[in-house]
Structure 1
Amino acid sequence: MNGLIVAIVIAVVALLLSLSVRVVKQYEQGVLFRLGKVQGARLPGLRLLIPVVDILHRVTLRIITLPIQSQGIITRDNVRVDVSAVAYFKVVDAVKSVVAIENVHAAIDQIAQTTLRKVVGQHTLDQTLSETDQINLDIRKILDIATVEWGVEVTLVELKDIQLPDSMKRAMARQAEAEREKRAKIINAEGESLAAAALGEASDTMMAHPLALQLRNLQTLVELGVDKNTTVVFPAPLMSTIGELGTFLARESAAASPHNGGQAGVIPVQATTPPPDRPSQVAPM
């Protein structure tokens, strides 16, 4: 009988200890309620409570990662995009986070989704793709204003993924291709301009020094001869020389014709047609 009483006493004492002793971890703060009234925050360590009278809520102070699910958003230029983000927040006032709002995590998740749609909807597609840093700052400022009364501080908001429609992807690809072609044509035109200027300077030099053109023609023939091909190239000056030589030979031939007295040492032969009753005669050589 005495053993049973001792066992009951031990069980009661153990139950009271379990109800009256709480351990608050280093990364937590405790919010103490006594008969439903807030008594303040409790720092980390061993905390003694009055059983049945006191209730201790432990709140983590670590930074919490909150993924913001993808939102279908219409941008200012009427393009539908799916945007997802991630937010980081931490509790800075444990009492407010327990008293001011029922579920701080669910509340921040919902307000982050609505803020994301609101901020991205105020920008065009190009701004959404290029000005992500500014969008992140705008979302964070709006969330800070809403969550300061909850004892929560939003430390960072980042857009995680932006999904575009397939038609928009193709249009952007065509735009990028056209932009690259434009740059290529501009670069080609600049190269042609520089080459034309260089050729103009070279032509001026060749006009001042005619032999320079002959040297260039010879160099071109040497370069063609390296490949061991059967192509024969006659530069323009050589063709004009051949034409002048042909003119010279024609002039000499005309000078040597009978109308101009013939060539020296050659006697022309005359042939006459004799009468029918006489034999033909040929002038002596």
Structure 2
Amino acid sequence: MLQTILWSIGIAIVVIILAVLAIHVITQYEMGVVFRLGKVRTPKPPGLLLIIPFIDRLQKVSLRIVTMPIQSQGIITRDNVSVDISAVAYFRIVDAVKSVVAIENVYAAIDQIAQTTLRNLVGRHTLDEILAETEVINTGIRQILDVTTIAWGVDVTQVELRDIQLPDSMKRAMARQAEAEREKRAKIIAAEGESLAAAALGAASDTMMAHPLALQLRNLQTLVELGVEKNTTLVFPAPFMSTINELGSFLERENAASRAAAGPQA
């Protein structure tokens, strides 16, 4: 009787162990790859899965998008500038069987190929191109990775340059260049303003020559503007001063004529 109970307990324990080894749950974002006696069987979709213990081996593969940082790379650009560039790659497994069978560790492989591709592609561009054409470089890296990783069952969805570190000497040189560029634009704008002002003054002078009264009105307006300041400065317009000079000359001629007329009478 005791022996029968022990046998029953042993059989129950074995059944429980086999059930634990046979029953698996594949989540919604995973795909199951089953090897039966070393051969790959049809990938298993999400849900409850039963396998044969010790004969089948299950490997779960995540189909979610993976964010992989690409560590900073010391790169020499085409114009011989040393920069440190880091990036980030986004990829997902689209073929679970290839990602398991075609390569040993798909994540490590993508990390290494991404670093190599980043170094090679960025090295073909100048520093100005790297800073101005980031989107073009991102697209180029992604296309190169796609060609390599498609055989591994991986789709690279996006690659982004994350950080570009420049030497301090290059930062100072770029700051001086930017300052010189701003000064150049400021001088050009000032020169354009002077040209427009000169053209406007020329048009105004032509108008005043055609209409002398306009100059007098402008002088009166200037006197009114000065009077608003409540200052003690007295300003005489140039035409007014010339009128005074002409009046003085007229008085001198009259005096001379009077003296000449009084002389003969005496």
Instruction: State if a TM-score over 0.5 links the two structures.
Output: yes
Q: 1:224 aligns with which of 218, 223, 226?
A: 226
1:97 corresponding residue in structure 2: 99
The answer to whether residue 197 in structure 2 is matched with residue 195 in structure 1 is yes
1:65 corresponding residue in structure 2: 67
- Greater gyration radius: 1
The answer to whether residue 209 in structure 2 is matched with residue 207 in structure 1 is yes
Q: Secondary structure at the match of 1:42?
A: coil
Q: Deviations over 1:243-264 (max 9, x none)?
A: 222222333343444xx35489
1:270 corresponding residue in structure 2: none
Q: What letter matches 1:93 in structure 2?
A: D
Unaligned regions of 5+ residues in structure 2, if any? none
Distance in 2 (alpha carbons) for counterparts of 1:209 and 1:37: 105
Distance in 2 (alpha carbons) for counterparts of 1:255 and 1:141: 105
**Range with bigger deviation, 176-185 or 29-38:** 176-185
**Pairwise CA distance, 1:122:** 0.4
The answer to whether residue 158 in structure 2 is matched with residue 156 in structure 1 is yes
TM-score of the pair, normalised by structure 2: 0.93
Q: Deviations over 1:204-228 (max 9, x none)?
A: 1111111111110000000000010
2:17 corresponding residue in structure 1: 15
Q: 1:125 aligns with which of 110, 124, 127?
A: 127
Distance in 2 (alpha carbons) for counterparts of 1:207 and 1:43: 94
Give the superposed CA RMSD.
1.8
Distance in 1 (alpha carbons) for counterparts of 2:163 and 2:101: 35
The number of equivalent residue pairs is: 264
Q: What letter matches 1:207 in structure 2?
A: M
Q: Deviations over 1:132-151 (max 9, x none)?
A: 11101110111011111111
Q: What letter matches 2:77 in structure 1?
A: T
Unaligned regions of 5+ residues in structure 1, if any? 268-285
2:76 corresponding residue in structure 1: 74
Structure ranking higher in helix proportion:
2
**Range with bigger deviation, 219-228 or 182-191:** 182-191
Distance in 2 (alpha carbons) for counterparts of 1:264 and 1:240: 34
**Pairwise CA distance, 1:10:** 2.1
Q: Secondary structure at the match of 2:73?
A: strand
TM-score of the pair, normalised by structure 1: 0.87
Equivalent residues in 2 for 1:1-285 (5 A)?
Answer: 1=2, 2-257=4-259, 260=260, 262=262
Distance in 1 (alpha carbons) for counterparts of 2:59 and 2:73: 34
Distance in 1 (alpha carbons) for counterparts of 2:22 and 2:175: 67
Q: Deviations over 1:148-206 (max 9, x none)?
A: 11111101111111111122122212222222222222222222222222212211111
